[in-house]
Copies of this chain bind each other. A is one copy, B any other.
Amino acid sequence: MSNKNVKWFIPAYKWLMTAAIIGVGMTRFGRDLEHQLPELAYKAIDEALRDAGVDRREIGYVAFGNVGGWSSEFFPLPIVCEYAGLNPRGGLRVEAACASGSAALAVACAMVESGYTDLALAVGAERMNELPTPQVVELLGRGGNFFWEFESFGLTFPAYYALLATAYMSRYGATEEDLAKIAVKNHYYGSMNPKAQFQKRITIEDVMGSRYIAWPLKLYDCSPITDGAAAAVVASERIASKLTDTPIWVKAQGMATGTANLTMRRSLVSLESVVEAAKEAYERAGVENPIKEFDLALIHDCFTIAEIIAYEDLGIAERGKGYLLAREEQTYIGGLIPVNTDGGLKSKGHPIGASGLGMVYEAVRQLRQEVDRGRQAPINRGQVLIHNVGGTGHFAYVTILSLEKP
């Protein structure tokens, strides 16, 4: 092509998305070996369809976020579709590591916006406790580059994020107590969320006294291994407002990938893919100041350090000052911007294929002001930010949901 500077990938003629979420569902996250994978998925699907007032036979496409590997099922979607009565509608499984739920939402929206169908279902489910925890941790550890990193150095996920944490603390002077404050906040909100895995408050002392997993990260800095499912019904512009009075518009999604090798990254105190994805989403939605334009944010706190780095990558805090938001408790309701009012991955749980849709579940219900007392954020701007990361920034999906039609 003659002009290499043309940015084909962000066409000027269409910056905004036109699909809306009209129903959401979610299981209680936790350790749940009583339900098979399709049963977990069905519970979320059923709640989402009822919430949308839509019959399963009206769904035109199914995008299923699921990583698998710990489950016996090798091709899990057909089993989910059969169990939920969604045959013969088309579908696929999507995997974007821990961002698979947001990727499923992206595919469902694209299928609706392309005109393929008027109603699509995004569903995510994971049954991680099917394998013993050490095996799950080993599989997740392969999330980097197996050949160059995992096999050579044996890094697991807590170790990957510990590398980010030590780099961050060393450069900016954040302390282990600052990290702990993220866990305390998220458990505070999780304690009020009947669908959270851990419904109890913890203290800074609890976190500081918990055992080290990978220094400086302790047990209470880490999100748990979780079984669970979440779902969203996506409708076209043409029918969304006919089906509900409160469609939640998917105003924009920014999507990016990062290098598999951590050694190829320019920085360990920022995830480049998140910066890219946020820039794209903000540009598409016309967001200039996230603190002033979002009522709350759902942030991917797989480890406490991840939430702090995300504050900076998302433009909520200045570079190097994210930990101060935690220290000053500015991300509680009433502060600068509430973050993880559902308990976050830390307290709500992290069934990796479902987590992104679990955030969507919370965002939609916050925007509709249906959330449990004590953790409902004031809704003034009508806009919520969702940040869902796969691996250590291998994937980044930033989603903007809005009460206002784009």
User: Which positions in A face B, CB cutoff 8 Å?
Assistant: 1, 4, 6, 8-11, 13-14, 17, 36, 53-55, 57-62, 67, 69, 72-75, 77-79, 81-82, 86-97, 100, 103, 106-107, 109-119, 139-140, 142-143, 145-147, 150-151, 236, 238-239, 243, 253-261, 264, 272-273, 276-277, 390-391, 394-397
Contact = CB atoms under 8 A, between A and B. Distances in A.
Contacts of A391: 75, 78
A60 B117 contact: no
A11 B115 contact: yes
Of A8, A109, A143, A394, most B-chain CB atoms within 10 Å? A8
A53 B258 contact: no
Nearest to A394: B78
Contacts of A238: 11, 13
Contacts of A119: 8-9
B78 A395 contact: yes
A78 B394 CA distance: 6
Contacts of A113: 110, 113-115
A206 B6 CA distance: 56
A99 to B, nearest CB: 8
Contact of A74 (B142, B257, B272, B276): B142
Contacts of A4: 55, 57-58
Given A4-B55, A257-B78, A110 B103 contact: no
A88 to B, nearest CB: 4
Contact of A143 (B74, B92, B112, B260): B74
Given A36-B147, A92-B103, A75 B87 contact: no
Nearest to A392: B78
Nearest to A19: B114
A90 B395 CA distance: 7
Contacts of A78: 97, 145, 257-260, 390-391, 394-395
A255 B272 CA distance: 36
Nearest to A110: B110
Contacts of A60: 8-10
Contacts of A90: 254-257, 277, 395-397
B58 A9 contact: yes
Contacts of A72: 142, 146-147, 150-151
